[in-house]
Structure 1
Amino acid sequence: MSALFDVILPVFLVVGFGYLVCWRGMLSEVAVDGVMRFAQNFAVPVLLFSAMAKLDLGANFNPLLLISFYAGAFLSFGLGLSAAYYWLKRPLEDSIAIGFVCLFSNSLLLGIPITERAYGPDALEGNFTIIAIHSPMLYTFGITLMEFARARGQNLSVGRVALRALSGVLHTPLVIGILSGLTMNLLIQAGLVMPEGFWGAVDMMARAALPSALFGLGGVLYRYRPEGEMRAILICCAASLIVHPAVAFGLAKLFGLSVAEIRSSVVTASMAPGVNAYLFAALYGVAKRVAASAVLLATALSILTIWFWLSVLP
């Protein structure tokens, strides 16, 4: 019970505060968009830059940790896409977007603060190892599939479609933050010394990232009322909240990962789909209602599922 009140509740209270403020009309949609734009385009990329710059690459990039997390993610994607396409008879583009909702867990805005509150700031290395390739790999995967689906019947080469997908990924602020941080990491290892004032400014921006992003997330979620297409929405919730963390837990145990790695893998996998899953659907104008409703409903349900996994984990 203490995990629910001491770890999970504070994070979701910040999200709920943003939801309440928008529900009562104290903040306009334009203002919420401004908060989220600041968080996602500036503060969170700086947080990722700082984490990647300071990460011990040799010690923390355990391929078995990544396999335990991403095997469940891609299995969830396959289940979501297959169920949408073969069972619900949705168009291929819709099915890819629904699969992407099952694939893209909220590893950063929810996974980081909950892991930190549960196990302390020193427990985040595994989380940042997962996050280092999360957005680049999953966006590349999702955009590439969608571009190939949309290119059916057109005379577009494989190289051109892949280049279009890669260009879209490289223009993502989160990916820019990750790649910049990894570059800084290599420069530091080569002997570069940055002044303390630089890191002081980076830390100030990084500290603003999660509170502003969680508050803005609540405001954004207020717009997305669950409505219709409940079978597709429940598929997304089941894949992201049950299948993904269960697979991550089973593989982490099978691989004999350390306690810290098991925590990072399973807690991150147990997060609800992120708002970026909706943004992906909105980018292509497909399955937007399913994506938005699934993000909102799964975020609410994840309070209980996260509590369960925190009670199971060592």
Structure 2
Amino acid sequence: MNTLFNVLLPVFLVMGFGYLAAWRGLFNEGAIAGLMKFAQAFAIPVLLCMQMARIDVLASFHPGPLLAFYTGAFLSYAIGMVLARLWLKRSPADAAAIGFCCLFSNSLLLGIPIMERAYGPGSLDGNIAIIAIHSPLLFTVGILMMEIARNRGGGIGAVALNAIKGVFHTPMVIGILCGFVLNAGISLTGHDLPEPIWAAMKMIGGAGVPAALFGLGGVLHKYKPEGDGRAIAMVVICSLIVHPGTAYVLGRWGAGLDSAGLRSAVLTASMAPGVNAYLFADMYGAAKRVAASSVLIATAVSLLTIWAWIAILP
């Protein structure tokens, strides 16, 4: 019970405050969009840059947590896409969008603050390693699968190239790459950045997660849970049980992870689908109602499932 109150509730209360502000009209859509733009395009990339610049790259990029996390992610994707197509009889494009909802966990906006509150700031190296390839890898795979589903076979090579270019132009990926460059520069030269620069980066980066959580609450207010109950339930089960469950089994008995690696893989995998899952569906006009409702409902249900995974983890 202490975990629920001390670790999870503060994170969800900030989101709830944003939801309440949007619901009561105290924070309109334009303000929410501006806040999320600041968080996702400026503050969080700076935070990721700082984290990447200061971690021990060789120690953090251990293959075990990455294998456990991404095996669970792609298994969830396969289950969601295949069942959406064969069981729910959705179109290929809808199936690809529903699969992406099962695939794309909210590893950053929820995963980072919950991990930090549960295990401390020193526990984030494994999470940062997962996040470093999360968006580039999953968006590239998702876009390719959607293009295949939409029968653009002849242009797959060009689509793949454009997808990769687009991913590496996103602010969060740029922040991660800048962190890599800083890390390498500091290691090779032995000279750190001046303290005022670190202090300024800390101020900007420190505002990112609270602002994003508040804005995420406002964004979720737009998503009304309606219809498509079986598809939504499938996304919730894949995201909150299949993905972290696979990561736990592989991490504990397959890869033989230590406690820190197991926590990073499983807790990051236990996050609900991120808002990017809806943005992906909206971009292609496929299964938008399923995606929107799944993000909202899975985020609410994850308050209990994340609590359970923290209790299970060593």
Q: Normalising to structure 2: TM-score of the pair?
A: 0.97
1:101-130 Cα shifts (integer Å, max 9, x gaps)? 100111111111111111111111111111
Corresponding residue of 1:240: 239
| Aligned partner letter, 1:39 | A
The 2-side partners of 1:93 and 1:200 are apart by 46
RMSD value, Cα: 1.2
The 2-side partners of 1:277 and 1:185 are apart by 31
Gapped regions of structure 2 (runs ≥ 5): none
| Aligned partner letter, 2:201 | V
Corresponding residue of 2:184: 186
Corresponding residue of 2:298: 298
The 2-side partners of 1:42 and 1:286 are apart by 29
1:182 deviation in Å? 1.2
Corresponding residue of 1:21: 21
The 2-side partners of 1:206 and 1:6 are apart by 23
Corresponding residue of 2:69: 69
The answer to whether the Cα contact below 8 Å between 1:282 and 1:288 also exists between their aligned partners in 2 is yes
Segments ≥4 residues shifted beyond 2 Å: 147-153
1:253-279 Cα shifts (integer Å, max 9, x gaps)? 112111111111111111100111111
Corresponding residue of 1:223: 222
The 1-side partners of 2:146 and 2:178 are apart by 27
| Aligned-partner SS, 1:190 | helix
1:210 aligns with 2:184: no
The 1-side partners of 2:286 and 2:178 are apart by 32
The 2-side partners of 1:143 and 1:4 are apart by 36
The answer to whether the Cα contact below 8 Å between 2:77 and 2:100 also exists between their aligned partners in 1 is yes
| Aligned partner letter, 1:21 | A
1:26 deviation in Å? 0.6
Corresponding residue of 2:199: 200
1:159 deviation in Å? 2.5
| Aligned-partner SS, 2:122 | helix
The answer to whether the Cα contact below 8 Å between 1:272 and 1:295 also exists between their aligned partners in 2 is yes
1:134 deviation in Å? 0.8
Gapped regions of structure 1 (runs ≥ 5): none
2:172 aligned residue (164, 171, 174): 174
The 2-side partners of 1:41 and 1:286 are apart by 26
| Aligned-partner SS, 2:124 | helix
- Higher mean C-alpha displacement, 93-102 vs 11-20: 93-102
1:151 deviation in Å? 4.6
Corresponding residue of 1:160: 158
- The percent identity for this pair of structures is 60
Superposition pairs for residues 67-146 of structure 1, below 5 Å? 67-146=67-146
Corresponding residue of 1:52: 52
| Aligned-partner SS, 1:228 | coil
1:150 deviation in Å? 3.0
| Aligned partner letter, 1:127 | N
| Aligned partner letter, 2:126 | G
Aligned pairs, how many? 312
The answer to whether the Cα contact below 8 Å between 1:40 and 1:213 also exists between their aligned partners in 2 is yes
